[in-house]
Amino acid sequence: MHTLQQPVTCELNIKNSRFLGRVEPVLSLEDGLQRLAALRQQHPGAAHVCHCLLVGGQVRMSDDGEPGGTAASPMLNVLQHKELDSVLATVVRYFGGVKLGAGGLVRAYTQAVSDALKGAVLERVRVLASATIELDFAHESLTRRMGEAQGIQMQFSYGQRVTVRLEGEQQELEHFLAALQEHTCGAVTVK
């Protein structure tokens, strides 16, 4: 998954309606909702302020008075197609007096987000995870070597068995645990 390094914008004029597209990185759902509230205050005369907020796989979206499924869903499709997360996509519409129809609205909202993303600089989203495992002393050195090779942070404690607290990027941690289980023939217990 990726996010943006900085906000990107675009402006479209379709049949006298102005569409102001913006996609920006956010830290959390709360951060995104605060930014959305600020955007609404900046555009009090807008007919619609449609949005799609995507953080950690959670989605908040609104067509803001446009016919259902014609604004936020197409915006979400663009974000998912680009494999984005931790972003807020908004499109502010100033109505120009000509109705676009459902198909026209879908195209307009899709284009507003797509065009804004054309100039985007992406960066990888790091999803961190942790786990605790227990293993026999015989597997300690193997665990250390494999963990260090994959960039997993490890804290060892000793009792009747070795307990290891693991931290790292979620995907790497999952691969590490699967490989460790394979190399130890399932002798590692994940707590």
Q: What is the CATH number of the domain that holds 182?
A: 3.30.70.240
Phi, psi of 72 (to 5 degrees): -65, -40
Q: Whole-prediction pTM value?
A: 0.71
Structural contact between residues 188 and 136, judged by C-beta atoms closer than 8 angstroms = no
**From first to last of its 191 residues, what are the pLDDT tens digits of the chain?**
899 999 999 999 999 999 999 999 999 999 999 999 999 999 999 999 999 999 988 999 999 999 999 999 999 999 999 999 999 999 999 999 899 999 999 999 999 999 999 989 998 877 778 999 999 999 999 999 999 999 999 999 999 999 999 999 888 999 999 999 999 999 999 98
Domain boundary among 124, 139, 154: 124
Tokens linked to 164? 């290891």
Split into its structural domains, the chain has a count of 2
Q: Are residues 68 and 8 in the same domain?
A: yes
CB-CB contact of 60 with 90 (8 Å): no
Residues 24 and 50 in one domain: yes
Q: Residue by residue, what is the 3-state secondary structure of 8-23? A: EEEEEEECCEEEEEEE
CATH, residue 56: 3.30.230.30
Q: Amino acid identity of 56?
A: G
Domain match, 114 and 137 both:
no
> Does one domain contain both 145 and 103?
no
Give the distance, in angstroms, between the CA of residue 33 and the centroid of all CA atoms in the same chain. 15
* Identity of residue 181: Q
- In this structure, the answer to whether residues 113 and 144 fall within a common structural domain is no
Residues 84, 176 within the same domain = no
Q: Which amino acid belongs to residue 128?
A: L
Domain extent at residue 74: 2-124
Q: Which residue, of 124, 150, 165, is where some domain finishes?
A: 124
Q: Which string of b and e fits 31-62 if b means at least 16 CB within 10 Å?
A: bbeebbeebeeeeeebebbbbbbbbeeeeebb
Q: How many whole angstroms separate alpha carbon 176 and alpha carbon 120?
A: 32
> Do 95 and 142 belong together in one domain?
no
**HSE-CB for 22 with a 13 A CA cutoff:** 20
